[in-house]
Amino acid sequence: MKRIVLAYSGGLDTSVAIPWLAEQYGAEIVAVTLDLGQGKELSDVRERALAVGAVRAHVVDVREEFARDFILPALQAGAIYEERYPLATALGRPLIARKLVEIAAIEGATAIAHGCTGKGNDQVRLDVSARAMQPDIEVIAPAREWGMSRPEEIEYARARGIPVPATVDSPYSTDANLWGRSIECGVLEDPWAEPPDDIYTLTRSPAACPDLPAYVEIEFEAGVPVAVNGVAMPLVELIGSLETIAGAHGVGRVDMVENRLVGIKSREIYEAPAAVVLHAAHRELEGFVIARDLERLKRDLGRTYADLVYNGLWFSPTRDAIDAFVAKVQERVTGTVRLKLFKGVCQVVGRTSPFALYDHGLATYDAGDLFDHRAAVGFIKIWGLPIETMTRKAARMSNAEC
Ligand code: ARG
């Protein structure tokens, strides 16, 4: 009998997908639910999958793997899509694909399935990632095929005794993991409409934030954040604690219109308090310890890296190669960054590193200045020579015309 491994969230779509796949493909369905730090109670998800017809249901905590193998490389690369989106959802997809393919091999399944629709980026990320690892695997996306409207889907569920959660009335489509949360649909589809405050769950409205700022010191060792305010923590906990502090000060909200891979512009709301703070800190420290040309090159590659992640090309030689470059740069990214969090704003207010290229003697305007002011004269002469030459030439030509 055909066996399909389904990425099961516990929500309505993937609950309906279990009997739908079983009926359409005459298959056994194995449900897989991953804990990526979405913060949802997963205790009864196994029972739910079995109740709607899965033959087996696995629940796997992959938070550490997610942080180490996906979030950290993206942080170090400075991967922020279109200058705003720290890529939480996009980074989760290749890991989900990896787990589905691994479990399919263990289960002897020839196909995997997921709940994505045919309109977004997530289907691309899951399908391409799965086939990058196992080119022969069949990838099925029921919601892309079944052609049911929302009411029809609810009817389908009721007819089969699938419990329809009360939250199905929520007009929003959300996705969450350790690195942040994305919110789409409903009133948010009007790019002119301000998002209602109740869509946010990780961040406090700036108006309701404390009147005193919080200071956070993040310590990095070779590009890895290792401690917050002097307390050493493993990465998963560190991200969690920054989420709490930054969220309480309203930091991490993003409202943007982004370019989807499938050619659509879409209005997206993100809350990513930990990601916003960590990217700000990491970027600051890196810039403090590497030279200008390398810093520029690194930023350009960060944009390329973000595009790769966004566009579903995580498992690609291009990303491997950029990772090697980024790893080389991280060797010097050791030190501490001090940030001020206040009513929705995150500001770097201090940085220190044993590798700092900042030299007080060169930078100061006070006594102790070591910069050779006289050397500037010759430098400027040669630097401006091409411009000066053009002006002289233009003057000669217009004189000749008279
Ligand atoms: N636009 C974002 C992205 O492409 C978020 C997608 C949210 N996905 C979801 N299934 N709700 O990464």
Span 158-175, mean pLDDT? Answer: 83
**Is 241 one of the annotated active-site residues of the chain?**
no
CA of 323 to the centre of ligand 1 (A): 24
**Is 149 one of the annotated active-site residues of the chain?**
no
Classified as helix, coil or strand, 302 is helix
Integer Cα distance of 124 and 6 in angstroms:
16
- Within 13 A of 169's CA, how many CA atoms are on the CB side? 1
Q: Of 14, 38, 28, whose CA–CA distance to 243 is shortest?
A: 38
Q: Is the CB of 173 under 6 A from ligand 1?
A: yes
Integer Cα distance of 62 and 64 in angstroms:
6
Q: Is the CB of 121 under 6 A from ligand 1?
A: yes
Span 205-232, mean pLDDT? Answer: 98
What is the per-residue pLDDT for 268?
98
Q: What is the per-residue pLDDT across 288-314, written as a single tens digit (0 to 9) for each?
A: 999 999 999 999 999 999 999 999 999
What is the per-residue pLDDT for 168?
63
Task: Give the chain's mean pLDDT.
Answer: 96
Looking at residue 343, the DSSP 8-state letter turns out to be T
Q: Is the CB of 13 under 6 A from ligand 1?
A: no
Query: Do 52 and 19 form a contact (C-beta atoms < 8 A)?
Result: yes
At residue 216, does pLDDT exceed 80?
yes
Q: Is the CB of 38 under 6 A from ligand 1?
A: no
What is the per-residue pLDDT for 232?
98
At residue 169, does pLDDT exceed 70?
no
CA of 321 to the centre of ligand 1 (A): 26
Pick the CATH number of 360-401 from 1.20.5, 3.40.50, 2.20.28, 3.30.310: 1.20.5
Q: List the chain domain ranges.
A: 3-172, 176-352, 360-401
Q: Token pair of 378, please? A: 């010759």
Span 302-329, mean pLDDT? Answer: 98
Q: Is the pTM of this model over 0.85?
A: yes
At residue 166, does pLDDT exceed 70?
no
Integer Cα distance of 296 and 294 in angstroms:
5
What is the per-residue pLDDT for 246?
98
**Choice among 173, 241, 260, 316 that is catalytic:** 173
> In angstroms, how far is CA 231 from the centroid of its own chain?
25
**Is 182 one of the annotated active-site residues of the chain?**
no
Tell me the pLDDT band of 112, cut-offs 50, 70 and 90: very high
Architecture of domain 3-172: 3-Layer(aba) Sandwich (3.40)
Distances (CA, A) of 162 to 24, 54, 205, 236: 17, 12, 37, 34
CA of 270 to the centre of ligand 1 (A): 9
Looking at residue 166, the DSSP 8-state letter turns out to be G
Q: Token pair of 280, please? A: 């700000």
CA of 384 to the centre of ligand 1 (A): 49
Q: What are phi and psi of 277, to 5 degrees?
A: -70, -45
Span 172-195, mean pLDDT? Answer: 96
At residue 55, does pLDDT exceed 80?
yes
The topology under which CATH files domain 176-352 is: Argininosuccinate synthetase, chain A, domain 2 (3.90.1260)
Q: Is the CB of 271 under 6 A from ligand 1?
A: no
Tell me the pLDDT band of 266, cut-offs 50, 70 and 90: very high
Classified as helix, coil or strand, 269 is strand
**Is 122 one of the annotated active-site residues of the chain?**
yes
Tell me the pLDDT band of 390, cut-offs 50, 70 and 90: very high
Q: Is the CB of 89 under 6 A from ligand 1?
A: yes
Cβ burial, residue 248 (10 Å; 0-12/13-18/19+): middle
What is the per-residue pLDDT for 344?
98
At residue 401, does pLDDT exceed 90?
no
